[in-house]
Amino acid sequence: MTGPVRRVFPGRQDQVACARKFIRRTVGPCPMLDEAVLLTSELCANALQHTASGNGGSFEVTVFRGDHSLRIEVRDEGAKTVPVVRTADDLDDLAECGRGLELVALIASRWGQCGDEYGRSVYFELRWDKP
């Protein structure tokens, strides 16, 4: 596993696109690059929508790269609520939001979170077989 590569982004919606570009540049050629970009985008959007990061704060994206794996963490400025995967029963069929962590749970090899109202990290891991 390579040492971490980190970048801090201002807590604005336009910075989600910058985080996607950061992932593409940092990860480079990888069989799971598109998945990594999508899931990072979801976690960054969640940080802005559900935590203090979206109220004039910031968020940080950290990438760990292994030979056959990635771990990406998004650290926000915290919230009193804990990130949870919503079930289909919790969502309106036409809802445009609320499916981000469901995507993470479906695509990632593993995901989790730790923290509290003062700061939280949500991460996912992607693994692939040797070519």
- CATH no. for residue 71? 3.30.565.10
Number of domains present in the structure of the chain: 1
Q: What is the pLDDT of residue 95?
A: 47
Cite the beta strand spans of 43-118 per DSSP E.
Answer: 58-65, 69-76, 110-116
* Interatomic CA distance for residues 12 and 92, integer angstroms: 27
* Interatomic CA distance for residues 18 and 45, integer angstroms: 12
- The tokens describing 102, both together, are 């469901």
What domain range is 81 assigned to?
5-127
Residue-wise pLDDT for 46-94, tens only, equals: 999 999 999 999 999 999 999 999 999 999 999 988 877 766 555 455 4
**Predicted confidence (pLDDT) at residue 2 exceeds the cutoff of 90:** no
Kindly give the pairing relationship between strand 110-116 and strand 58-65.
unpaired
Pick the range with the lowest mean pLDDT from 1-10, 79-88, 116-125: 79-88
